[in-house]
Homo-oligomer: A and B are copies of this chain.
């Protein structure tokens, strides 16, 4: 045997401080302890937790934090000479999370965060701070939990002009929709089930109204299109308006209802919208069950890429956070949004009303003479062409359910027709409109 070359001197450990030790923080501690040796092999150096900080030192977290230095003041993590990376797991768009992030980057520390709200609202200013100090800002866990979709788009699909990016970005909503599919449950019952199972918060607003998905979508859009993050331009409609009949009728039409966040850039500008949609049964998003997340990116050379996995939870989120830390340990990182902030475009907001597509429309009407004519007239007057019209004669929710599928047409026309009908004495509640996802 010929002698092996002398091994290179091992690199020093990467020293990590954790701020905020809740469910996710506990997952990160467990992951770094459990997979310690494996991670050191893959990263080429060991990754050491040196300090932790959270609001309540004495809370029982089910993990032993005694090996790590405790800091009551999070800024002590930033000031410490023995900290290379600060991991922000406090949450919230502003407040102490943002203060910590700014201080850490300003001090030239690497910052890893799972905080989608903070990145959606302040990602550009944080990226500027990171650029000024030439230090990494990483946020893989902020979008679609354990799925490495930030990396897949920033790097894996980097050769492509992306036409659109879309997906199931909120596991709570997908769990509720799956429950409604399986059991024919109402939204209220499915939500209660999700709350009992720990998939939904006591106040579910953030999830079911699409706000959480909107944060994630704005981040994906910036990465895919090279545009400035613009959370203010994302429109979000949640799933509260869905009734059991919507799920059933969608199924009868060969579709499934999913809350889809979609961003698309064309000559009219950038469109960013979170809303329930009908997904054709031959599209992979139709098969994403329970609390999973999934993201689709369509590139001009690669075609359609589809990524699925756990969108939340201690383990998957920790997996994404530690992947970011490993990238930093390997020195494999670059600008947070793939290019310097000054190179990002400020895309104009596209006119959503001009968007052309097929739509599902559901109305609940009083069972009386003339109602069908009223609907048909409103559609005709707004220039909406009807492909199919379904009235099964089954009563539900104080009236008769009527479902229409439109031909391709501008969203604005359908909205005009529905606004006219919503004002009618014979239409009960608010009509539901859902785009049918084009393949």
Binding site for B on A (CB under 8 A): 4-5, 7, 27, 31, 34-35, 38-39, 41-44, 132, 140, 146-148, 151-152, 155-161, 226, 282, 284, 287, 289, 299-310, 313, 315-316, 318-323, 325-327, 330-335, 338-340, 342-343
Contacts of A343 in B (CB 8 A): 41
Q: Which of B313, B318, B321, B332 contacts A332 (CB 8 A)?
A: B332
Question: Complex formed: what's the CA distance from A330 to B315 in Å?
Answer: 30
Contacts of A300 in B (CB 8 A): 34-35, 315
A334 touches B332 (CB 8 A): yes
Distance in Å: Cβ of A267 to nearest Cβ of chain B: 16
Contacts of A44 in B (CB 8 A): 334-335, 339-340
Contacts of A39 in B (CB 8 A): 158-159
B323 touches A35 (CB 8 A): no
Question: Complex formed: what's the CA distance from A26 to B282 in Å?
Answer: 31
Which residue of the partner chain B has the closest CB to A225? Answer: B38
Q: A27-B301, A41-B343, A159-B322 are in contact. List 19 more A-B contacts (CB 8 A).
A: A4-B342, A7-B342, A31-B301, A39-B158, A42-B338, A42-B339, A146-B305, A148-B157, A151-B151, A151-B155, A152-B152, A155-B327, A160-B319, A287-B287, A300-B315, A302-B309, A302-B319, A303-B313, A306-B307
| 21 CB < 8 A contacts A-B | A34-B300, A34-B301, A35-B301, A42-B338, A44-B334, A44-B339, A147-B156, A148-B151, A152-B307, A157-B319, A158-B323, A159-B319, A159-B323, A284-B287, A287-B287, A302-B315, A302-B320, A303-B313, A305-B307, A307-B307, A332-B332
A38 touches B161 (CB 8 A): yes
B323 touches A41 (CB 8 A): no
Going nearest first, the 4 A-B pairs with the smallest beta carbon separation are A148-B156, A159-B322, A302-B319, A146-B302
Copies in the complex: 2
Question: Complex formed: what's the CA distance from A332 to B132 in Å?
Answer: 19
Which residue of the partner chain B has the closest CB to A152? Answer: B148
Which residue of the partner chain B has the closest CB to A313? Answer: B303
Contacts of A333 in B (CB 8 A): 332
Distance in Å: Cβ of A334 to nearest Cβ of chain B: 5
B305 touches A306 (CB 8 A): no
A38 touches B226 (CB 8 A): yes
Question: Complex formed: what's the CA distance from A313 to B302 in Å?
Answer: 9
Contacts of A151 in B (CB 8 A): 148, 151-152, 155-156
Question: Complex formed: what's the CA distance from A338 to B300 in Å?
Answer: 29
Q: Known contacts A289-B282, A334-B44; is A303 also within 8 Å of B326 by CB? A: no
Which residue of the partner chain B has the closest CB to A335? Answer: B44
Distance in Å: Cβ of A411 to nearest Cβ of chain B: 29
Contacts of A322 in B (CB 8 A): 158-159, 301
B147 touches A305 (CB 8 A): yes
Q: Which of B152, B301, B309, B321 contacts A306 (CB 8 A)?
A: B309
Which residue of the partner chain B has the closest CB to A338? Answer: B42
B303 touches A306 (CB 8 A): no
Which residue of the partner chain B has the closest CB to A39? Answer: B159
B301 touches A332 (CB 8 A): no
B159 touches A332 (CB 8 A): no
A226 touches B309 (CB 8 A): no
Question: Complex formed: what's the CA distance from A106 to B75 in Å?
Answer: 49
A152 touches B159 (CB 8 A): no
Question: Complex formed: what's the CA distance from A325 to B156 in Å?
Answer: 11
Contacts of A327 in B (CB 8 A): 155, 158
Question: Complex formed: what's the CA distance from A238 to B287 in Å?
Answer: 28
Residue with the greatest number of chain B CB neighbours at <10 A, chosen from A41, A148, A302, A318: A302
A330 touches B326 (CB 8 A): no
Residue with the greatest number of chain B CB neighbours at <10 A, chosen from A140, A303, A310: A303
